[in-house]
Every structure is written in structure tokens, then in C-alpha cells.
Amino acid sequence: MHLCTKTNKMKPSVFSRRHIRTDYVQLDTGKCKACWKCIEACPNGVIGKIDLPWHKHALITASDHCTGCFSCVNVCLYGAYSTMDGMKPMAEKQRERLFKSFLTNNLLLISGFIMILSGLTLQLGFHAGGPDVHQRDAYNIGNSSVRYEEIRLIDTSKTILNFNYADWSTIHKSVIVLFSLLMAYHIYVHWKWYKEVIKKHMIGKNFQVFIVTVLFLLVAATGLIPWFIDLSGGNSVLRFILIEIHDKLALLLLVFLILHISKRNRWFSRTYAKLNNE
């Protein structure tokens, strides 16, 4: 009886069809190049791998867990995954999800570019440079709150590209809000992926993604909190300290965003081609 129970719980043979297909997708192991992107992309832990020195390819190890999200189909560069016959309604849902993902990522790119441009304009065009006589005198003011206000006093008559400081500040704050909403939606859509990566201790392989996420959260917080402090008439010293931190973190975020986008430029071109060919 013990042997029978153990046999029933054994995983099916490597040659079983359950290891190359689910109800939604099928895997052509001959096309697999063992890049393991499908394993990282799968939110439900459906895909495993054979990783021998002489034999490497992905393998479906939990077909019952597949929900038809088609992340494996979308991420595979070699066409090893395809949808099962009769899955046209689900394929349409896949195309809809792909379009939403493509749209969200492009809006993130555009809003992120405007956010960085406006932030650099504020920092380099209005905040940077040696202090004038009025600002140098401000260092002798005893009240720290007033001193910070005077040191960072902006020339409101100055314009860059026909926009003054208030205009650039409004643009920057508005785009921060838009970018934050898009990023929150992006994290929400990929929340299962985040949980699976943490659960399977794969943070090291996705270190750059987590760094970008954490940096974004810090940049958004240090950018929005001073805004709320200013609206409420709160502590000026704390507000300007947070702004200084925000400026430095934003430059670091810019570097990681460039790296993040450069590693995914092929995804944008492939997704654009897919959406246009269907």
C-alpha cells in the first residue's frame, strides 16, 4: 500500500506530454535555447528546467497551475512556446493584455522622460550655480527655516524655453503624479511575478528590476512629501532636506532606468511587431 501511494505521487516521466504542454500553451523543446526567461516570467511557477552540461532546455513541471497568461509565449525570443489549438478567445485576451502592457510601458517611458527633463531643468537651470550676494548673506541668518528659504530663493523672472520656475515646477509635479500612477499599475499587474521571484529566491537574477522599483518609490516619496509639506505650510527645513535627497536619488534612478530600458529594447520592437502583424 505504501508503494502504491508513493507511485501515485511521483511526477510523470520527462517524456510525458504533461512536460511539454498545458491546457493553454505547448513547448517545443527543440527550439529552446535555455535562456530561462520563461521561468522568470511565469507568475505561477509552471516551468522548470533540465540543466545538464550536455542537455539544457525548459520543461513544464506544473501544468495544472497554468492559467493561460501567455507570459512564456510573449517573453520567448525563439518561438519555443505557442498557444494550443482552439485557444482563439484566450489569444484575443492575450493580445489585449499585450496591448495594455505595451501602452503602459510606453506611457512610462514618455512620462519618465518628461519627469527627468523637468527635474534636471529645475535642478540645473534654477537651483544650481553659486549663490548671489543675497543668498550668501542668508547663511548668517540664525533661524534655520528662514535660512533655507533664503538660500533656495528662486529668480521668478528667469525663463527656460519660455517657461518660468513655477511652470516647470507644475509640469514636474504633475508628471510625477502621472508616473506614480502608471508605476503603481505596472507593479500591480506584475505583483505575482514579484512574489514568485521573492519566494524562489531569484532576486539576485532580477536585482536591477528591484533596484529600479525601490529607487522609484524613494524618488516618488521624496518628491511628493515636500509638495504636501509646502501645501500645508509645514517645516521648511525638512522639506528642503527631502528635496535635496530627491535630487540625488533622481540622478541615480536615471542611470538605472537607462540600463533597465536598454535591456528591454528588444521587447518593445518585438511587441510592436506582434501587435501590427495580428
What's the 3-state SS for 154-219?
A: CCCCCEECCEEHHHHHHHHHHHHHHHHHHHHHHHHHCHHHHHHHHHCCCCHHHHHHHHHHHHHHHH
- DSSP assignment of 80-144: -EEEPTT-HHHHHHHHHHHHHHHHHHHHHHHHHHHHHHHHHIIIIIII-S---HHHHHHTT-S-H
Q: Which domains can be identified in the chain, with CATH numbers?
A: 2-85 (3.30.70.20), 92-277 (1.20.950)
The pLDDT value recorded for residue 247 is: 82
Integer CA distances (angstroms), 267 to 74, 105, 237, 261, 274, in order = 9, 10, 44, 10, 10
* pLDDT tens figures, 30-69: 888 888 989 988 888 899 988 888 888 999 988 888 877 7
| DSSP 8-state assignment for residue 237 | H
For residue 146, name the pLDDT band (cuts at 50, 70, 90): very low
- pTM of the full structure: 0.58
Q: How confident is the model at residue 120 (pLDDT cuts 50, 70, 90)?
A: confident
Task: Give the integer Cα–Cα distance in Å for 205 and 114.
Answer: 30
pLDDT at 156: 64
Residue 179 CA to residue 118 CA, distance in Å, equals 13
List the beta bridge partners of residue 25.
83
Looking at residue 278, the DSSP 8-state letter turns out to be -
What's the CA gap between 19 and 23, in Å, rounded? 12
* Percent with pLDDT over 70 in the chain: 77
**pLDDT value at residue 47:** 92
**pLDDT surpasses 50 at 3:** no
Compute, in degrees rounded to 10, the torsion defined by CA atoms 203, 209, 212, 215: -20
CA distance 262 to 259: 5
* Residues 21 and 43: beta-carbon distance below 8 Å: no
Quickly count: other Cβ atoms within 10 Å of residue 112's Cβ: 20
- Residue 122 CB neighbours (<10 A): 20
Pairing of strands 163-164, 159-160: antiparallel
Going from the C-alpha of 228 to that of each of 95, 100, 184, 232, the distances in angstroms are: 40, 31, 19, 6
All cell numbers assigned to 39: 521561468
